[in-house]
Amino acid sequence: MKGISRRDVLRNLAIGAAGGSVLQMIPAQAAELAHETIQKEKASSPAGKYSPKHFPPHQYQTLVLLCGAILPKDEVSGGAIEAGAPEFIDLLTSENEEYQAVLGGGLMWLDNFCTDRYEHSFVECTPGQQKEVLEFIAYRKNAKTDPTLSQGIAFFAKLRNMTCDGFYTSKIGIEDLKYIGNMALAEFPGCPPLPSE
């Protein structure tokens, strides 16, 4: 591996700290370099198409569709799919038996519900039918009128949280929120003036 890695930067930084040297400038440069290095390392690694580690193709397809419906692409930013939320959820699920039960079972529940109602699995339903299902399971109050929805609602709540996790920990999601930080500053600027009191 040629060039300078994040580890090298931080190691030098730590040695500098021990020696009590030139450090007033270095943390900022180190931050920049650390971020750039990680980006370069990622860009140079063979990306390719993600192969799901846990969900079989049909379930993964359903998961992708649901993630996209929960946080879609809009005029401001890409959506949960572009942000890699399905990959993130699949990875965690492959390592967590509780998620396997909740999400795997939930996806089955969804298809059972759809076949009972529309004689198709969720992915095969028309956009109108899919929207109708989502309107059922996206709100807790619906379980009051139809208690058979409650497990689907619980599943969707969990998936909604995980989709937000996947989206808002991505570069797309963090930029969507206009978070500014994770950098070295010489001084903390404090609160900017409030627009209007």
Partner 1 sequence: MTQVIRSPKTYDVCVIGSGAGGGMAAKILTEGGLTVALLEAGGPVNPAKDFQMFVWPYDVPHRGVGVGGKAAENFGEFLAPNGAWKIDGEPYTSAPGANFQWFRSRIVGGRTNHWGRIALRFAPVDFRSKTHDGIGEDWPISYDDLAPYYDKVESYIGVFGTKENLPGAPDGVFLPPPKPRCNELLVKKACDKLNIPCIPARLAILTKPLHGRPSCHYCAQCGRGCVTASNFSSSQVLIPPAMQTGRLTLITHAMAREILVGPDGKATGVAYIDKATLTKKSISARAVVVAASACESARLLLNSRSRVFPDGLANSSGQVGRNLTDSVGSHGSGYFPSMEKMPPHNHDGTGGMHMYIPWWKYGGRNDFPRGYHIELSGGREMPQAGMFDDLCEEVEGYGADLKATCRKRYGTTIDFAGRGEMVPNPDTYCEIDPDVVDQWGVPVLRFHFKWGEYELRQAKDMQETFKAIVDTAGGEYLTRTKTEGHYPFGIQPGGKIIHEVGTARMGADPKTSVLNRFCQAHDVKNLFVTDGAPLVTNPDKNPTLTIMALSWRASEYLLDEAKKGNI
Enumerate binding residues for partner 1 (CB under 8 A): 7, 10-11, 13-14, 17-20, 23-24, 27-28, 30-31, 34-35, 38, 42, 69-72, 74, 76, 79, 84, 88, 91-92, 95-96, 99, 134, 138-140, 156-157, 160-161, 164-166, 168-171, 173-174, 176-192, 194-196
Burial 122-158 (b: 16+ CB within 10 A, else e): bbebeeeebeebbebbeeeebbeeeeebebbbbbbee
- The answer to whether the CB of 9 falls within 8 A of the CB of 33 is yes
How many C-alpha atoms does 20 have within 13 Å on its Cβ side? 0
Task: Using the minimum distance from each CB to partner 1, give the nearer residue, 119 or 192.
Answer: 192
Task: Using the minimum distance from each CB to partner 1, give the nearer residue, 119 or 194.
Answer: 194
CB of 16 to partner 1, least distance (A): 8
Helices 57-70 and 127-137, packing angle to 10 deg: 70
CB of 75 to partner 1, least distance (A): 9
Beta-carbon neighbour count of residue 185 at 10 Å? Answer: 10
CB of 133 to partner 1, least distance (A): 11
CB of 27 to partner 1, least distance (A): 4
